[in-house]
């Protein structure tokens, strides 16, 4: 993205966001902490960069109802620290949270982490949003509703919108108690043998908090357990009996290793892949991955592969009925952000024309799917 000739704006409240949209002409890029600036399609040059990091802080926290309303530019890491004093948290652990990713940015990119096995993505945790549309109107849905855009669930529309539909200004989130304790069991395991283990764990009374395979150290299955301190030893023992004598308690840095693989090494392209969990290991085996993480219950994988292999990988995933989006490309490397258009692309184009008819927000993010709508 070239922003050398763009005007920058950093509003600090909802009114200032609305004023920025109304008082500027032309195209607008919505920027947060920058942890996903290169994801999806290449952003075209824009007239204005709207920096949401000034929209920071908690608006209202209701510990009794276990909800929090927060400005979209708030780093989730900072929000978690504030909530921890109440024994609560947002049950969400995407790798880039540690890098300062904002609540709004995490929603807009549909990111997720291993905890999605139990709690889902932010699509499942967001219960209300406030957005500013391209004409400057303020729309709200879900918690604390004042005005709705008739017929639309805005929280779900904005999830994975990559800043192409509107400016996410405020978010209301569902909270959960912080677990009393946790442990992780690791099993050396190649990708082609992991599905059998996953099926036995998910089909039994083991209640994993996360179930992931990662390519580090020749391949390892990670099973995270969370719960009361009294119950954890027995639950860990049952898992180890199920998996056999090679199953051991994981090193303290196992999830940091997992997060590093999700981020990528910086040498290749990183692709996020979604598919039916039972098909995912076989699908990834045919992509020529250099490194990978696989959510064995969520059906979400992150793979690193050569830049020149990205287009073929998109096509392979699409042919298998899956989805894929580019999450990282080295500087100067050209690679398509998206693969073949899904069957529902007409709905996406119609929404873009309805909410942003002049194509002001995020030009290029969904290219080439929405060429005629932006």
Is residue 78 a part of any domain in this protein?
yes
Nearest alpha carbon to residue 300 among 182, 206, 160:
160
Residue pLDDT, tens place only, 2-60: 455 789 999 999 999 999 999 999 999 999 999 999 999 999 999 999 999 999 999 99
Do the domain assignments include residue 333? no
How far is it, in rounded angstroms, from Cα 242 to Cα 214?
A: 20
Structure tokens at 48: 């204005």
On whether the CB atoms of residues 144 and 65 are closer than 8 A, the answer is no
In contact, 124 and 10? CB cutoff 8 Å:
no
Same domain, 154 and 198: no
> Are residue 148 and residue 283 in the same domain, yes or no?
no
Verify that 12 and 154 share a domain, yes or no. Answer: yes
Whether 336 is in a domain gets the answer no
Co-location of 298 and 346 in the same domain: no
Residue 252's pLDDT is 85
Same structural domain, 15 and 90:
yes
Tell me if 291 sits within 8 A of 217, measured CB to CB. Answer: no
- Same domain for 367 and 324: no
Question: Does 334 reside within a domain?
Answer: no
For residue 239, which of 262, 219, 217, 221 has the smallest C-alpha distance? Answer: 221
Helix, strand, or coil (residue 361): strand
If asked whether residues 263 and 357 sit together in one domain, one would say no
> Environment class of residue 7 by beta-carbon count within 10 Å: exposed (0-12), middle (13-18) or buried (19+)?
middle
Say if residues 227 and 181 touch (Cβ distance below 8 Å): yes
Range(s) of the domain holding residue 323 = 181-328
Domain count for the chain, please give it.
Answer: 2
Same domain, 146 and 198: no
In a domain, 335, yes or no: no
CATH number at residue 243: 3.40.462.40
Answer yes or no: are the C-beta atoms of 361 and 134 closer than 8 Å: yes
* Regions in the chain scoring below 70 on pLDDT: 1-4, 143-152, 372-374
What is the reported pLDDT for 144?
Answer: 43
Report the candidate in 263, 222, 220 with the shortest Cα–Cα distance to residue 95. Answer: 263
**Nearest-angstrom CA–CA distance, 271 and 200:** 28
Q: Which CATH number fits the domain that encloses residue 168?
A: 3.30.465.10
Same domain, 131 and 97: yes
Q: Identify whether residues 283 and 362 lie together within a single domain.
A: no
Asked if residue 187 and residue 169 are part of one domain, the reply reads: no
pTM value surpassing 0.85: yes
CA distance 174 to 122: 9
Same domain? 89 vs 193: no
């Amino acid at each position: 993205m070239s922003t050398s000739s763009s005007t920058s704006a950093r509003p600090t409240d909802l009114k200032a966001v609305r004023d920025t949209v109304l008082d500027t002409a032309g195209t607008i890029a919505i920027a947060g902490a920058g942890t996903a600036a290169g994801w999806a399609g290449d952003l075209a040059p824009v007239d204005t960069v709207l920096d949401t990091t000034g929209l920071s802080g908690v608006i209202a926290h209701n510990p009794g109802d276990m909800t929090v309303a927060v400005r979209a530019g708030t780093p989730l890491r900072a929000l978690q620290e504030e909530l921890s004093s109440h024994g609560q948290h947002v049950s969400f652990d995407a790798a880039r949270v540690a890098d300062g990713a904002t609540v709004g940015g995490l929603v807009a990119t549909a990111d997720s982490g291993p905890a999605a096995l139990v709690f889902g993505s932010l699509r499942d945790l967001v219960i209300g949003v406030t957005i500013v549309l391209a004409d400057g109107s303020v729309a709200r849905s879900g918690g604390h509703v004042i005005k709705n855009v008739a017929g639309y669930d805005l929280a779900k529309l904005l999830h994975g919108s990559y800043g192409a539909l509107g400016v996410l200004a405020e978010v209301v989130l569902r909270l959960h108690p912080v677990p009393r304790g946790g442990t992780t069991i690791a099993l050396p395991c190649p990708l082609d043998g992991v599905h059998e283990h996953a099926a036995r764990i998910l089909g039994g009374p083991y209640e994993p908090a996360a179930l992931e395979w990662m390519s580090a150290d020749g391949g390892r299955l990670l099973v995270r357990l969370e719960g009361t301190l009294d119950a954890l030893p027995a639950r860990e023992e049952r898992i180890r009996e199920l998996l056999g004598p090679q199953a051991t308690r994981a090193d303290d840095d196992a999830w940091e290793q997992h997060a590093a693989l999700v981020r990528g090494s910086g040498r290749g392209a990183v692709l996020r892949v979604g598919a039916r969990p039972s098909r995912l290991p076989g699908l990834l085996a045919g992509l020529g991955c250099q490194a990978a993480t696989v959510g064995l219950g969520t059906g979400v994988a992150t793979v690193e592969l050569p830049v020149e292999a990205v287009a073929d990988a998109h096509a392979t995933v699409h042919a298998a009925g899956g989805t894929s989006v580019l999450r990282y490309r080295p500087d100067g490397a050209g690679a398509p952000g998206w693969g073949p258009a899904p069957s529902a692309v007409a709905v996406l184009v119609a929404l873009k024309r309805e909410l942003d008819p002049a194509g002001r927000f995020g030009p290029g993010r969904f290219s080439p799917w929405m060429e005629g709508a932006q």
